[in-house]
Amino acid sequence: MSLTKELKNPSSPIREFIQGQFPLTRGFVWKTNRLLPRMKTLLPSGEVAYSTIGMAFDYRLRYYFRATPINSLVAWQGAEKVVKSMHYSQDWVAGLFKDLSTIIDHIKPTNRRLGQKHEERLARLCYILACFEQEYRAGPFFDSPLALIPRDATTENVLQSVPDAAAKDLVRLSHLAYRRWKQRLGGPTFMNPTFAGSDVIGGADADLIADHCLWEVKTTVDPRICRFWLYQLIGYVLLDFLDRYKLHEVGIYFSRQGEFLRWPIKELMAHLSIPGTKRINLRALRRDFEDVCIESSPLFTGGLAAAGPYLRPFSPSRR
């Protein structure tokens, strides 16, 4: 299971741990949503696949910070599945991704606003990457845009297969994002970060980390937080067993509204904890969460004892 699936599973020990440590979400969510300013929402000009747009925008936002090698993207893992599930040739998929990488190198999207032509081209590219990532995360589905692409299509054919309404929507979201994020560009960042505990629970990768703040990007027409999002952020923080990222804050960026929510980690945890709880000890919480993850992981059927050689010597909480 992944962190997302664990949090959605009522009988998951991982969900039970986070919920038990931080039960007071209802009041916090209600107060936060009540205090949110009325936000103007960018709506698409035509019918779009909202989930695909959200994933595509994640790619576009990351390209403002860094051009990650294309074979390091989750989309590349989806491409490997497409070869098997849709019977595309491996050479065709490899050639497509090579061409997409060349386009990125030519456009040079990092740390700057692009002209309209290049922005739309990059939007189409990000949409295609999102389609491949969806194949990885959700598996093949009958109405996937990839299923409609001819087996001998050129890279230009593939890019032009992206619906115009989707491309235009992504361009508008990108322009808004540049205005809101431009002061944060150029600092230390991690794109699609994974954590020391990610493999233990079957997968966990966040959207991005910038300036020691872990950000989740939400492309939604309904800008309200929910308990699941809070537990998702906390889960990522706790999975950073080794404190690799030195996280100080967590936040949400509402991409259709261009608005940020941001909290210091210990302050957020304190708000969600039962009054009178001891001072938040993040190191101890990570140690206890590590135990829960190992106990419930199929990787370690022997429990904590079997995990000893794998994790224990490397955990800072056990030095």
CB of 60 closer than 8 Å to CB of 123: yes
Per-residue pLDDT at 111? 94
Q: How far apart are CA 230 and CA 226, in angstroms?
A: 7
- Segment 123-140 shows an average pLDDT of 90
Residue-averaged pLDDT of the chain: 89
Cβ neighbours for 63, distance < 8 A, ≥ 6 positions apart: 104, 109, 110, 122, 126
Residue 8's Cβ-side half-sphere holds a number of Cα atoms within 13 Å equal to 5
Residue 301 pLDDT > 70, yes or no?
Answer: no
Cα–Cα distances in Å, from 180 out to 61, 113, 258?
Answer: 11, 12, 6
Identify the H or E element spanning 222: none
What is the side-by-side order of every strand in the sheet holding 249-254? 189-191, 208-210, 213-218, 249-254, 259-264
Per-residue pLDDT at 142? 55
Whole-prediction pTM: 0.89
Per-residue pLDDT at 305? 47
Least confident window among 54-68, 146-160, 304-318: 304-318
Which position has the higher pLDDT, 275 or 226?
226
Identify the H or E element spanning 212: none
CB of 39 closer than 8 Å to CB of 237: no
CB of 135 closer than 8 Å to CB of 78: yes
Least confident window among 119-133, 265-279, 301-315: 301-315
Span 31-84, pLDDT tens digits? 999 988 788 999 999 999 999 999 999 999 999 999 989 888 999 999 888 887
DSSP for 120-169, written as a single string = HHHHHHHHHHHHHHHHHHH---TT-GGGGS-TT--HHHHHHTS-HHHHHH
Indicate the domain borders of the chain.
Answer: 3-35+187-318, 50-184
Span 192-223, pLDDT tens digits? 999 999 999 998 999 999 989 999 999 999 99
List, in sequence order, the alpha helices (H) in the chain: 3-8, 13-21, 25-35, 50-65, 74-85, 90-107, 116-138, 155-160, 164-181, 227-239, 265-272, 282-296, 304-307
Tokens of 276: 């009178």
User: How sure is the predictor about 89, in pLDDT bands with cuts at 50, 70 and 90?
Assistant: confident
User: How sure is the predictor about 143, in pLDDT bands with cuts at 50, 70 and 90?
Assistant: low
CA distance between the termini of the chain? 29
Burial (CB < 10 A; 0-12, 13-18, 19+), residue 201, is buried
- Which of 4, 13, 128, 29 has the alpha carbon at shortest distance from 73? 128
Per-residue pLDDT at 300? 64
